[in-house]
Amino acid sequence: MTHCDSSTSSTGTMVTSRKQYVVSRPVYSEDSLAEDHEKIQRKHKALTAHVKEYLTCDAKRAKAAVLSALPVIGWMRSYRVREWLLGDVVSGVSTGLVAIMQGLAFSLLASLPPSYGLYTAFFPVLTYFFLGTSRHISVGPFPVLSLMVGAVVTRLVPDEGAHANITDFEGLTQDQRRVLVASSMTFLMGIFQLAMGVLQVGFIVVYLSETLVSGFTTAAAVHILVSQLKFVFGLTVPGISGPLSIIYTLEKIFVQITSTNICDLVMSIVIMVVVFIVKELNDRYKAKLPFPIPIEVIMTVIACGISYKLNFEDRYKVDVVGKMVSGYESPIAPSVEVFQESAVEAFPVAIVGFAVAFSVAKVYSIKHDYPIDGNQELIAFGVSNIFGAAFSSFAASTSLSRTAVQESSGGKTQTAGLISAIIVMIVTLALGFLLAPLPKSVLGALVIVNLKGMLMQLREIPYLWRRDKPECVVWVATCLGAILLGLDLGLALGLGVELLSVVFRAQFPRCSILANLPGTDLYRDQKDYLQVFQPKGVKIFRIPSPIFFANIEFLRSKLVEAVGFSPQRVLRKRERALRKIKATFQKRDPTITEKALEDSCWTTPDEMCANTEEMDPPCDPKDVSFQINMNADLPPGINFPRVDLHSLILDFSAVSFLDISAMKGLKTALKEFIRIDVDVYIVSCDALILEKLHSCMFFDDEIQTSMFFPTLHDAMLHVLEKFKDNRTVDVRNI
């Protein structure tokens, strides 16, 4: 290592006086900079080297692999029994109660009998305990996923009409068919998640941006609301799926509105009002209450009791949960035919399920400072869903509210999840009969009242509109798309719009003409400052975005607008004029060679420039062997077009990438200017892009590396030096 004082280097001096910017160094082009400062030739690792490294195996790596595949080993070894166990047990019991309620309610969303919701709150938890990296999320049913599963279930096994043509359905009851559809779809979803985890593509969830997820969940809330209305009103509405199903469902509800079951409606409204108020109070007196009032559990118990006592089922024809299957069913094989029918829907379910779980897990991993691993989470959810599907449960992810309960009531590890699963199991095995008289409308009301948070996201629309219009468009498109087209198509639409919005931002950038701030080496948009310095014949054009196929034409047209003429048209006119001039002069004096003529036409002599406002790049008159005074000698009707530009400087500092199509367009654009004798300079070009230009044969006789300069000021000084004699100063006052 060599130490040397920075202030006395061989190439120049950098003096740091108090709050003064003093630099004196040679003017650099990229070429001369590379000469003066020793550059290291970096070798890029080949793809094979990366693969090799990835595939290397030793004892340490093997151990790390086992630990990362079974995270339970890691946290079990450091489990602090005294500190954590009590919290885990308390949390497990509370979470278990919530899980029971949600399991029952969400199974209605999935159009399945209630007990399957309890299965979903049980089986996936068991495998997640071993495989999951998050210590706080509560695995189990999630309303949006339940609804997405429900859409497929009602499509393949509708309430009325013929079910889909699936041979595996033979000999099964309506409910058994539905369970088969739900579990097969869940199995497939698990396979998708597992595959993504193994392929290490968990990063794709970054494409589900906050805005997209917000719009999507708001739409999901609307769907959930509509799907629960039939329970609240006590109506029989067949499940409808596909685009516009929400409209058709609402239509069916309003047609039957007269046959509303008043008992259901009154009970629902009472429960909604009470739960809503108590929840608000819980929120307001959060600090003063030792724990939030479990109003949902209380209302369920009360409703159960009243319904049983007054025999709602028989007396008011209220639809109740009814007798649940006690215990578990033996494992079933998924149906390959259902796979084929539901593959398109299972994929978004897999993505959404993972995205929700991962984003919730991330919140708590940051809060409690432990690492989570996206790909391992995918594997954990994949295996959990496959395992759950084998035991007839449906798509599991996490629920925000349930996870909040698990964490806030003291859960420290997935032990709490395991205990909640045991609570759920107890109900399934022994206490299910207690829930039999519970009206479905109560569950519906509880689902609806919990949608408040999701629906409140609507307030984001004006917020986003004021701040960032493209993002607002993404929100609205995703939300409307998901409401009208259904959740899966809406998600695809939203993703498309979101990707387009990124492209769009880069596609129509605001280009600007830069000018020097007098007395500095700084260059800013000429429109923004009162006093700017713009040497005559020099234009600085800033390209404020990456250059790629979708904006190269736009940028070219902006460049033409900025310089005030089309170089292509000037070139063509010059060629035409040249041909005519050639003809005329050769007629007059056949000894004039074509070469001399061409030279004299392309390079306008100095005396001529002096009296034309539009001037061509001047050159040394000595070089020209033959002169024509164009103004005087030109035959009438021939006009040799000139431009008032000798140097064009392109500011590439914001060009973060450049694709092949754009490179071709850029090359053409540069050549057009070079051919009409405008010097083109490119400044602040990224080193990687410069490297790419070299590897793609961008340079030739006309486009040379000497046009690259490190800063705008270097290029400007170079230009001023080159055109020293006819430098004119023009300080504009706009």
Q: How far is the CB of 168 from a second copy (least distance, A)?
A: 24
140 Cβ contact partners less than 8 Å away, ≥ 6 residues apart: 99, 102, 103, 120, 121, 124, 125, 396, 398, 399, 402
**Whole-number Å distance between alpha carbons of 569 and 571:** 5
Q: Which of 93, 265, 480, 522 binds a second copy (CB under 8 A)?
A: 522
Stretch 14-33 residues interacting with a second copy (CB under 8 A): 14, 16, 18-28, 33
DSSP for 266-332 reads: HHHHHHHHHHHHHHHHHHHTTTTSSS---HHHHHHHHHHHHHHHHTHHHHS---B--PPPPS-PPP-
Instruction: Give the largest CA-CA distance in the chain.
Output: 121
Q: Residue 531: in which H helix or E strand, if any?
A: strand 531-533
What's the CA gap between 606 and 707, in Å, rounded?
25
Both tokens assigned to 305: 């009791």
Our finding on whether 42 is near a second copy (CB under 8 A) is yes
Shortest distance, CB of residue 70 to a second copy, whole angstroms? 25
3-state secondary structure (DSSP) of residue 710: coil
Asked if 703 touches a second copy (CB under 8 A), the answer is no
Task: Please identify, among the stretches 76-84, 103-111, 402-410, 708-716, the one whose residues bind a second copy according to the rule CB under 8 A.
Answer: 708-716
Q: Is 99 helix (H, G, I), strand (E, B) or coil?
A: helix
Other residues' Cβ atoms within 10 Å of the Cβ of residue 658: 22
695 binds a second copy (CB under 8 A): yes
Interface map 490-519 toward a second copy (x if CB under 8 A) = ------x-xxx-xx-xxx-xx-----xxxx
Site for a second copy in 327-356 (CB under 8 A): none
In the complex, minimum distance from the CB of residue 57 to a second copy, in angstroms, rounded to a whole number: 25
Alpha-carbon distances, residue 183 vs 28, 386, 460, 589, 603 (angstroms): 68, 9, 36, 94, 80
Output the smallest distance, CB 2 to a second copy, in A.
5
Contact by Cβ (8 Å): 541, 715: no
Q: Tokens representing 11?
A: 């190439």
Binding residue (CB under 8 A) for a second copy from 109, 112, 226, 464: 464
Q: Which is nearer to a second copy, 297 or 550 (CB)?
A: 550
Of 76 and 660, the one with the shorter C-beta distance to a second copy is: 660
Within 8 A by CB and 6+ apart from 402, the residues are 95, 98, 99, 102, 138, 140
Say if CB 461 and CB 475 are below 8 A apart.
Answer: yes
Pick 279 or 675: Cβ nearer a second copy: 675
Query: Which residue in this structure is represented by tokens 């941006």?
Result: 209
418 counts as binding a second copy under rule CB under 8 A: no
Q: Are 543 and 655 in contact (CB under 8 A)?
A: yes
Among 61, 452, 527, 579, binds a second copy (CB under 8 A): 527
Among 50, 284, 317, 572, binds a second copy (CB under 8 A): 572
Residues 367-406: x/- map of binding to a second copy (CB under 8 A)? Answer: --x-------------------------------------
**Total binding residues toward a second copy, as defined by CB under 8 A:** 111
- Binding-site member from 470, 484, 565, 624 for a second copy (CB under 8 A): 470
Q: Which is nearer to a second copy, 63 or 569 (CB)?
A: 569
Query: At its nearest, how many Å lie between a second copy and the CB of residue 209?
Result: 4
Q: Which stretch binds a second copy (CB under 8 A): 56-64, 240-248, 329-337, 651-659?
A: 651-659
By C-beta, is 44 or 288 nearer to a second copy? Answer: 44
CB of 651 to a second copy, least distance (A): 10
Rounded Cα distance between 85 and 475, Å, is 43
Nearer to a second copy, 243 or 305 (CB): 243
Q: Which residue number, 176 or 568, has a Cβ lying nearer to a second copy?
A: 568
Q: Does residue number 11 form part of the binding site for a second copy (CB under 8 A)?
A: yes
How many other C-beta atoms lie within 10 A of the C-beta of residue 227? 27
> Binding to a second copy by residue 720, rule CB under 8 A?
yes
CB of 661 to a second copy, least distance (A): 5
Q: Which stretch binds a second copy (CB under 8 A): 109-117, 252-260, 381-389, 647-655?
A: 647-655
* Identity of the residue, 271 or 670, whose beta carbon is nearer to a second copy in the bound complex: 670
H-helix or E-strand containing 234? none
Least gap, CB of 46 to a second copy (angstroms): 13
Q: Which amino acid is at 250?
A: L
Closer by beta carbon to a second copy, 11 or else 236: 11
Q: Minimum Å distance from CB 446 to a second copy?
A: 32
Long-range contacts of 27-35 (CB under 8 A, 24+ apart): 27/714, 27/717, 27/718, 27/721, 28/709, 28/710, 28/714, 29/706, 29/708, 29/709, 29/710, 29/714, 29/715, 29/718, 30/685, 30/690, 30/705, 30/708, 30/709, 30/710, 31/705, 31/706, 31/708, 33/710
| For a second copy, the closer CB: 57 or 530 | 530
**Encoding tokens for residue 112?**
């399945």
Task: Find the binding residues for a second copy in span 90-129 (CB under 8 A).
Answer: none
Contact 433, 106 (CB under 8 A): no
**By CB under 8 A, what part of segment 160-219 binds a second copy?**
206-207, 209-211
Closest CA to 413 of 359, 368, 380: 368
Give the Cβ contact number of residue 230 at 10 Å: 23
Residue 258 engages a second copy in binding (rule: CB under 8 A):
no
521 binds a second copy (CB under 8 A): yes
CA distances from 410 to 95, 288, 357, 417 (A): 10, 17, 20, 12
Closer residue to a second copy (CB): 549 or 699:
549
**Nearest-approach distance from CB 570 to a second copy, in angstroms:** 11
Tokens 């200017």 label which residue?
Answer: 673
C-beta of 575: minimal distance to a second copy in Å?
A: 11
5 contributes a contact to a second copy by CB under 8 A: yes
Which is nearer to a second copy, 377 or 471 (by Cβ)? 471
Query: Closest Cα to residue 104, out of 335, 303, 342, 380?
Result: 303
CB of 715 to a second copy, least distance (A): 11
Distance CA 344, CA 337 (A): 13
Shortest distance (Å) from residue 261 CB to a second copy: 38
Q: Token pair 């949006």 is at which residue?
A: 144
Q: Does position 285 bind a second copy by CB under 8 A?
A: no
Binding region for a second copy (CB under 8 A) out of 244-252, 304-312, 443-451, 527-535: 527-535
Select the residue interacting with a second copy from 35, 159, 251, 553 (CB under 8 A).
553
For the bound state, the minimum distance from the C-beta of residue 586 to a second copy, rounded and expressed in Å, comes to: 24
Interstrand relation of 647-651 and 538-542 (parallel, antiparallel or unpaired): parallel
CB of 515 to a second copy, least distance (A): 11
Should residue 528 be labelled a site residue for a second copy when binding is judged by CB under 8 A? yes
Bridge-partner residues for 541, per DSSP? 513, 650
Residues of this chain, 653-692, that bind a second copy according to CB under 8 A = 653-657, 659-661, 664, 684, 686-688, 692
Cα(312)–Cα(303) distance, rounded to whole angstroms? 10
Q: Does 531 bind a second copy (CB under 8 A)?
A: yes
